[in-house]
Amino acid sequence: MFDAQCDFAAVVYGVNDNPDQLLLDFTEDLRRSGVRTAGVVQLDSWTSDDCVVRTVVLSTREVIPVAHERNLAATGCSLDCRKLASIAEMIEAAIQQGADLVVINRFGKLEATGKGLIELIQQAADADIPVLIAVPEHRFPGWIKYSAGMSVRLPCRRAALDRWWQSVAMGLSGRGSVTTLCALAK
C-alpha cells in the first residue's frame, strides 16, 4: 500500500497538545484556498461528562455526534458504530469525487486493530491522495508498523503542517514531477 510515492503524514501529539483544533484550523484554511478536503475532525473530548462528542465531516461541513446516547446507568462514553459507518461513507464519496487531501482524526484503538476508518487510508492511497492523520504518541509505533515506515512524522504544530502541505501541493500540481516526502525519506 505505501511506497516511495506516498504523501502520508502523522501529526504525533502528546497529552498537552490539541490535534483536533490544529487539524480543524488547518483544513479550514485549506478549504478557503480552494483545496478539497475529505475526512473527519473531532470537535469535543471523550472526557466530556455528558458524552457529547461531535465530529465535523470536512467535505460537507456537517457536524455529527458520534457517542452513543447513554442511559442513566451508563458510566462512560462509547462510539456509535452506525454513525461512524455513515461518516465513513461520506468520506469515501469525497475520495471518489477527487479530494485533494484526506484527514483522519485519529489512529486510535479501532484503527490500530484494523477497524474504524482505517480502510479509508487504503482508499486514499489507491487514489493517490495525500493523507494526514493524528496519532497519539503511545500509538506511533503501531502507526509506523501499519504504514511500513513510509510516513512523515510531524509535530503537533501549525508550521510543520504548513511546510508539509506546501511540499505535497507542489507534487499535486505536477503529479510525478516532484519528489515526494516519502521518496526523500526512503
What residues contact residue 66 under an 8 Å CB cut-off, 6+ apart?
Answer: 42, 53, 54, 55, 79, 80, 83, 84, 87
Residue 76 falls inside a structural domain: yes
Predicted pLDDT at 151: 87
Task: Give the pLDDT confidence of 145-154 residue by residue, as tens digits.
Answer: 988 888 899 9
Give the C-alpha distances (Å, rounded to integers) separating 23 from 64, 133, 145, 162, 176.
17, 9, 23, 11, 27
As a whole-number percent, the residues of the chain with pLDDT over 90 amount to 51
| Residue scoring higher pLDDT (116 or 1) | 116
Residue 136 falls inside a structural domain: yes
What's the number of domains the chain is made of?
1
Predicted pLDDT at 3: 42
CATH number of the domain at 174, please. Answer: 3.40.50.300
pLDDT at residue 17 tops 80: yes
User: Is residue 11 helix, strand or coil?
Assistant: strand
Range of the domain at 50: 8-185
Predicted pLDDT at 110: 85
Q: Which residues of 78-101 are buried (b: 16+ CB within 10 A; e: fewer)?
A: ebbeeebeebbebbbebbeeebbb
Quick one: average pLDDT of 118-145? 92
Distance CA 170, CA 178 (A): 7
What residues contact residue 109 under an 8 Å CB cut-off, 6+ apart?
Answer: 116
| Residue scoring higher pLDDT (173 or 52) | 52
Residue 57 falls inside a structural domain: yes
Predicted pLDDT at 5: 46
Residue 75 falls inside a structural domain: yes
Residue 26 falls inside a structural domain: yes
Residue 21 falls inside a structural domain: yes
Quick one: average pLDDT of 21-25? 95
Task: Give the pLDDT confidence of 62-104 residue by residue, as tens digits.
Answer: 999 887 765 555 566 778 888 989 999 999 999 999 999 999 9
CA 102, 108, 111, 116 torsion-angle sign: negative
Q: What is the mean pLDDT of the chain?
A: 83
Q: In DSSP terms, which residues pair with 136 in a beta bridge?
A: 13
Residue 52 falls inside a structural domain: yes
pLDDT bucket at 184, cuts 50 / 70 / 90: very low
DSSP 60-102: TTEEEE-BPPP-TT--S--B-HHHHHHHHHHHHHHHHTT-SEE
Distance CA 78, CA 44 (A): 13
Residue 1 falls inside a structural domain: no
Predicted pLDDT at 47: 56
Distance CA 11, CA 19 (A): 7
pLDDT bucket at 141, cuts 50 / 70 / 90: very high
